[in-house]
A and B are shown apart, each in its own frame.
Chain A
């Protein structure tokens, strides 16, 4: 019997800890498929963040290191500089990457650190129960912006790809979304390109994936995907913000 669909090798056969309807599972799968297709699991090391995906060290089959909150790019730098032939990626949420870890993120890009960052942006702190994230939208109601995010008081959301695209060391900065089949396919292409750029030693690559948080948004899975389309994509336009281009397959 022909196998037409199966779990990627780079994902271990353990249950995920994510809420129903959350798109972390899809994004994990895209990373794992990429690792399988490039045949790099044996020399790949992943860095887990603090947040909902903290326990992804149990999910990915490659070696894994769990980093302090926001410090994943610094930990990845140490791993990569120690063994440059290894492929090193971080998997981080918006609070981890764009608030507490802003300096580590920006300076890894500044150095052109040859690592790949998978940035999952769902506009909220999920693990701690739905507080305002650096990427929460204007007027978005969260536990810590109960009257909606007032940008005159709490500031404006950060557009990470646009910011990192200004840096010389960034080889690839692309924003994709996990909200429908076409966008998921594009996300896969972007993630594969990011890993390929690392293999080709081109520098810092980041793929920002717009993602959902049904639990803390207070919506069901379908409504969440629609909310992402209606609210996040207009503020965070999908697209390629920086690409050094070249010979990638």
Chain B
């Protein structure tokens, strides 16, 4: 299929439709609004549902309902809106329902700003809502990847019966790039969902979608079972992209928009004779620890670069576990670090060009 020029938010929306999503529930917030607007334009023409909810809280609960009925359902928002969705996401996780949630991150905390940010990493990977649970978290770095990861997100949400987040940012959402939309499945519910609350049609006992377990033993048993599933996911689903890491003395670690800046900085450093490389996590949970592990022996140091005050760096340090120094460089509040700023950090850490 030929490449087309599309905005990240719109490309993601189209890819979701191609992945069989026919139920989208949204609420306006910058910088994700084009995603909802695209759905509003497209869904009525293909027999799908676009509904503008009265709040992000209502939107995620509509996703809960549509998913409980067995449909591929999705919502999108930006940082403050994700905070509002966190209650519903916890219930979706606690009810073992699949769902895809997109966060086009902006600056925070509070109302923050509307420029790109990566300050919701902790929220996405540590505590999207109350209770013991995880989301599968994908971090695209190009418009192409915004689309490619959507089908995977829906497939894995259904496969593991859990909520999946696509953690994007305002830069990827708003930028236009050539993209090839790959046709995936187009049926509404490609996976059998015998658990769905879709009406028993007098042919089976009633299905119950629920997250309440008043007996502590029953609740612990269920949470532990969910954690066994998470262990499988940690083994099977880690994804990362590596660039010039084989011989690298300094390994940069960055995801999403900041990984693109790091790639430029790595190229410049190489021209200066500094052996720099880049690991770009694609899954943020499970964290791609095995990709970091491979380079601990030969790397002299690691440099984590984020558009935050340092959140993913916690995970890099957990992987490296004191075996090599791990430095951090970040800008926040909607400021995108320039390649030169990152290059300066590389030079400082390697004692590179004077």
B71 in the interface, Cβ–Cβ < 8 Å? Answer: yes
Contact residues in B for A82 (Cβ distance below 8 Å): 23, 49, 65-66, 69-71, 73, 198
B53 in the interface, Cβ–Cβ < 8 Å? Answer: yes
Interface contact A78-B95, CB-CB below 8 Å: no
Interface contact A76-B65, CB-CB below 8 Å: yes
Interface contact A57-B65, CB-CB below 8 Å: no
CB distance from B307 to the nearest CB of A (A): 32
Q: A42-B199, A103-B54 are in contact. Are A79 and B69 (CB under 8 A)?
A: yes
Q: Mark A56-72, 1 if CB is under 8 A from B, else 0.
A: 01101111111110010
Contact residues in B for A47 (Cβ distance below 8 Å): 65
Q: Mark B294-335, 1 if CB is under 8 A from A, else 0.
A: 000000000000000000000000000000000000000000
**15 pairs, A vs B, C-beta closer than 8 Å:** A43-B199, A44-B199, A47-B65, A57-B210, A58-B208, A62-B200, A63-B208, A65-B68, A68-B88, A78-B66, A78-B67, A79-B66, A81-B49, A86-B69, A86-B199
B197 in the interface, Cβ–Cβ < 8 Å? Answer: yes
A104 in the interface, Cβ–Cβ < 8 Å? Answer: yes
Give me the interface of B with A, judged by CB distance under 8 Å: 23, 25, 49, 51, 53-55, 57-59, 61-71, 73, 87-88, 91, 95, 197-203, 206-212
Interface contact A78-B208, CB-CB below 8 Å: no
Contact residues in B for A66 (Cβ distance below 8 Å): 95, 208-212
Q: Which of A55, A60, A79, A107 contacts B65 (CB 8 A)?
A: A79
Contact residues in A for B65 (Cβ distance below 8 Å): 47, 65, 74-82
Q: Which of B62, B64, B212 contacts A81 (CB 8 A)?
A: B62
Q: Which 3 interchain pairs have the tightest Cβ spacing?
A: A78-B65, A74-B61, A82-B69
Contact residues in A for B59 (Cβ distance below 8 Å): 74
Interface contact A104-B66, CB-CB below 8 Å: no
CB distance from A1 to the nearest CB of B (A): 27
Interface contact A42-B201, CB-CB below 8 Å: yes
Q: Name A44's closest neighbour in chain B (CB-CB).
A: B199
A54 in the interface, Cβ–Cβ < 8 Å? Answer: yes
Q: How far is the CA of A237 from the CA of B61 in the complex (A)?
A: 33
Q: Name A45's closest neighbour in chain B (CB-CB).
A: B197
Interface contact B200-A75, CB-CB below 8 Å: no
Interface contact B87-A68, CB-CB below 8 Å: yes
Q: A43-B201, A77-B62, A103-B58 are in contact. Are A83 and B212 (CB under 8 A)?
A: no
Q: How far is the CA of A66 from the CA of B87 in the complex (A)?
A: 14
Q: Name A72's closest neighbour in chain B (CB-CB).
A: B61
Q: How far is the CA of A79 from the CA of B196 in the complex (A)?
A: 10
Interface contact B199-A55, CB-CB below 8 Å: no
Interface contact A62-B57, CB-CB below 8 Å: no
Q: Name B23's closest neighbour in chain A (CB-CB).
A: A82
Q: How far is the CA of A54 from the CA of B212 in the complex (A)?
A: 9
CB distance from B171 to the nearest CB of A (A): 31
CB distance from A63 to the nearest CB of B (A): 4
